């Protein structure tokens, strides 16, 4: 396990959007240091509903641990490899209102920014923007302290916050060095809560897991790890200043200690491997071990915990023949767009079954039947998402971000107009208040047909996956994979 001091500390490469600073909009972002949430409750509820639409659109299966009970505020912290999807999967299962901190341009963009400001999100100007000359240090300090004090005040009042403590999105399989923003906000929140005699907030570590995070219709699992108590480190005078709306920096040593505690607690919830091929190799071993013990892994959550056991047990034999061969086998699968579940319960590459063929037929039929409604209702934003994912400069994590946004906003921007046009064509008259109920029914019909279309896509994708398995089995890589799987299976038997 890498510690905070030795973790990679690489400043993010700025996208074109991150270099565009809008001072006027940043100054106008709603904030509040009294503990009242700066966002609109209506838009917050609407955004949560949109998160549900987006979640169903991009994930085939979603799991999450039960939400840990807590009286005070909660700061949720997680690694950040999947763009806006990361905070979404945490926020959608919240009971408390969420205050968020985000990159400055996500708060000021023409469309996303409008929603972010209504939601109450607070902008952050990072060191990367300062060093690149995008913003001066004094203005960044003003915006960041205002936002952190808003977040701290909300947390002290019992709200929750979702913060990515690395301060950037990246594609590493290990946690990068944490910035000091989240522990500083946490210490300030604890001080304000103490001053106001409110229940203390806690830091809740979160593991975010995916089969393959940038694949469309992959599986997701939100894991809640250990909660971290936030110590009281401010003097009585400084607590009073904080509670009255004046930012006071916490002692540096206490900030560093809390940051290290966060790093140590959060790291085990990440892949925490030297690279992604090693992690895929560990997942393959976990699946093959489970198959050998006749307890196949059917859920992503089961795989995550079994893989973590493999990672712990592999500590003494890292670089062994077993891990090397599993990594090579997993890479052969990955290069053919296959996953560890391509291995059968007998630990051989699956072939094409009659069930796969039936799924292909059923999936095609479902997509054909629902396409006259599902495609017009979703094609515009889906096409834009595909274009932006392939042409944008935000990195590989932008793929799921753009498809998430398409899934969130299509129901709001395109489903109601489609219903109105349909009512006009059917009635031949103007839409009236009496058409509200038929209109709502129409929206539910579009929603159901869209999700049936996606289910059809899943079935068709199962058939396509089976075809890739067959194609692989007939290739030289397939022969090598077969040899590796036999060797791995023998070594796993020897470990029993």
In a domain, 495, yes or no: no
Region 443-460 average pLDDT: 96
Q: Which residue has the higher pLDDT, 17 or 114?
A: 114
Domain identity same for 326 and 386: no
In a domain, 483, yes or no: no
Rounded to whole angstroms, the Cα distance separating 139 from 333 reads 49
Which of these, 123, 77, 171, 119, lies nearest to 395 by C-alpha position? 171
In a domain, 491, yes or no: no
Region 342-350 average pLDDT: 94
Whether the per-residue pLDDT at 491 is higher than 60: the answer is yes
Domain identity same for 341 and 367: no
Domain identity same for 419 and 378: yes
Cα 273 off chain centre by: 19
Q: How much is the pLDDT for 435?
A: 73
Domain identity same for 288 and 176: no
The answer to whether residues 200 and 188 touch, using CB atoms and an 8 Å cutoff, is no
Domain identity same for 124 and 234: yes
* 3-class SS shares of the chain: helix, strand, coil, % to 5: 60, 10, 30
In a domain, 301, yes or no: yes
Q: At what angle do helices 181-195 and 236-243 cross, to 10 degrees?
A: 100
Domain identity same for 212 and 336: no
If pLDDT is split at 50, 70 and 90, which confidence band does 13 have?
low
Q: Return the minimum-mean-pLDDT range out of 108-112, 134-138, 256-260.
A: 108-112
Q: Which of 286, 312, 347 is the last residue of a domain?
A: 347
Domain identity same for 53 and 187: yes
Rounded to whole angstroms, the Cα distance separating 152 from 71 reads 16
Whether the per-residue pLDDT at 368 is higher than 90: the answer is yes
Rounded to whole angstroms, the Cα distance separating 377 from 409 reads 11
159-179 pLDDT per residue, tens: 999 989 998 888 899 999 999
Domain identity same for 197 and 336: no
252-273 pLDDT per residue, tens: 999 999 999 999 999 999 999 9
Domain identity same for 328 and 392: no
174-208 pLDDT per residue, tens: 999 999 989 999 999 999 999 999 999 999 999 99
The answer to whether residues 202 and 114 touch, using CB atoms and an 8 Å cutoff, is no
Owning domain of residue 117: 4-269
CATH code where residue 184 lies: 3.40.1130
290-334 pLDDT per residue, tens: 999 889 999 999 999 999 999 998 765 556 889 999 999 999 999
**DSSP assignment of 400-421, as one string?**
HHHHHHHHHHHHHHTHHHHHHH
Q: Which residue has the higher pLDDT, 63 or 104?
A: 63
Domain identity same for 247 and 125: yes
Rounded to whole angstroms, the Cα distance separating 132 from 443 reads 47
In a domain, 141, yes or no: yes
In a domain, 201, yes or no: yes
Q: Which of 304, 332, 347 is the last residue of a domain?
A: 347
Domain identity same for 390 and 436: yes
Q: How much is the pLDDT for 445?
A: 94
Which of these, 222, 218, 208, lies nearest to 57 by C-alpha position? 218
Q: How much is the pLDDT for 66?
A: 95
Distance set, CA 370 to CA 57, 60, 419 (Å): 15, 18, 15
In a domain, 478, yes or no: no
CB atoms within 10 A of CB 15: 15
Q: Which of 239, 254, 269 is the last residue of a domain?
A: 269
Kindly report the pTM of this predicted structure.
0.90
In a domain, 489, yes or no: no
Rounded to whole angstroms, the Cα distance separating 443 from 445 reads 5
Whether the per-residue pLDDT at 18 is higher than 80: the answer is no
Distance set, CA 392 to CA 81, 108, 134, 288, 406 (Å): 16, 18, 20, 38, 15
Whether the per-residue pLDDT at 23 is higher than 90: the answer is no
Domain identity same for 418 and 442: yes
Whether the per-residue pLDDT at 243 is higher than 80: the answer is yes
Total domain count, the chain? 3
32-58 pLDDT per residue, tens: 999 999 999 998 889 899 999 999 999
Whether the per-residue pLDDT at 456 is higher than 80: the answer is yes
């Amino acid at each position: 396990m890498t510690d905070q001091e030795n973790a990679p500390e690489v400043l993010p490469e700025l996208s074109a959007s991150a270099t565009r600073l809008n001072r006027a909009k940043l100054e106008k972002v709603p904030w509040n240091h009294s503990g009242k949430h700066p966002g609109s409750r209506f838009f917050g509820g609407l955004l949560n509903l949109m998160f549900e639409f987006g979640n169903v659109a991009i994930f085939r299966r979603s799991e999450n641990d039960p939400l840990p009970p807590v009286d005070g505020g909660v700061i949720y912290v997680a690694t950040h490899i999947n763009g806006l999807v990361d905070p979404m999967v945490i926020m959608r299962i919240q009971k408390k209102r969420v205050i968020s901190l985000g990159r400055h341009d996500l708060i000021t963009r023409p469309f996303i920014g409008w929603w972010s400001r209504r939601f109450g999100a607070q902008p952050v100007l990072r060191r990367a923007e300062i060093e690149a000359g995008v913003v001066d240090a004094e203005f960044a300090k003003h915006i960041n302290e205002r936002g952190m004090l808003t977040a701290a005040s909300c947390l002290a009042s019992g709200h929750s916050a979702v913060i990515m403590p690395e301060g950037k999105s990246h594609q590493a399989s290990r946690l990068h060095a944490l910035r000091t923003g989240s522990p500083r906000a946490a210490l300030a929140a604890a001080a304000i809560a103490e001053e106001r005699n409110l229940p203390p907030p806690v830091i809740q570590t979160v593991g975010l897991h995916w089969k393959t995070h940038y694949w469309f219709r992959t599986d997701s699992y939100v894991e809640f790890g250990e909660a971290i108590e936030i110590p009281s480190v401010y003097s009585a005078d400084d607590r009073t200043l904080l509670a009255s709306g004046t930012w006071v920096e916490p002692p540096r040593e206490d900030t560093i200690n809390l940051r290290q505690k966060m790093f140590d607690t959060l790291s085990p919830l990440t892949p925490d491997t030297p690279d992604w091929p090693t992690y895929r190799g560990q997942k393959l071993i976990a699946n093959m071990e489970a198959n050998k013990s006749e307890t196949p892994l059917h859920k992503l959550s089961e795989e995550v915990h079994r893989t973590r056991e493999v990672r712990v047990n592999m500590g003494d034999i890292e670089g062994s023949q077993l891990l090397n061969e599993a990594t090579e086998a997993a890479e052969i699968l990955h290069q053919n767009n296959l996953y560890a579940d391509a291995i059968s319960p007998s630990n051989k590459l699956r072939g094409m079954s009659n069930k796969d063929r039936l799924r292909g037929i059923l999936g095609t039929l479902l997509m054909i039947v629902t396409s006259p409604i599902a495609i017009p209702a979703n094609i515009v934003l889906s096409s834009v998402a595909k274009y932006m994912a392939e042409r944008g400069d935000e990195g590989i994590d932008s793929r799921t971000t753009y498809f998430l946004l398409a899934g969130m906003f299509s129901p709001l921007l395109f489903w109601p107009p489609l219903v109105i046009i349909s009512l006009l064509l059917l009635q031949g008259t103007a839409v009236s208040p009496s058409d509200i109920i038929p209109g709502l029914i129409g929206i539910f019909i579009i929603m159901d047909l869209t999700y049936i279309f996606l289910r059809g896509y899943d079935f068709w994708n199962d058939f396509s996956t089976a075809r890739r398995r067959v194609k692989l089995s007939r290739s030289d890589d397939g022969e090598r994979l077969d040899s590796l799987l036999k060797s791995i299976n023998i070594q796993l038997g020897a470990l029993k």
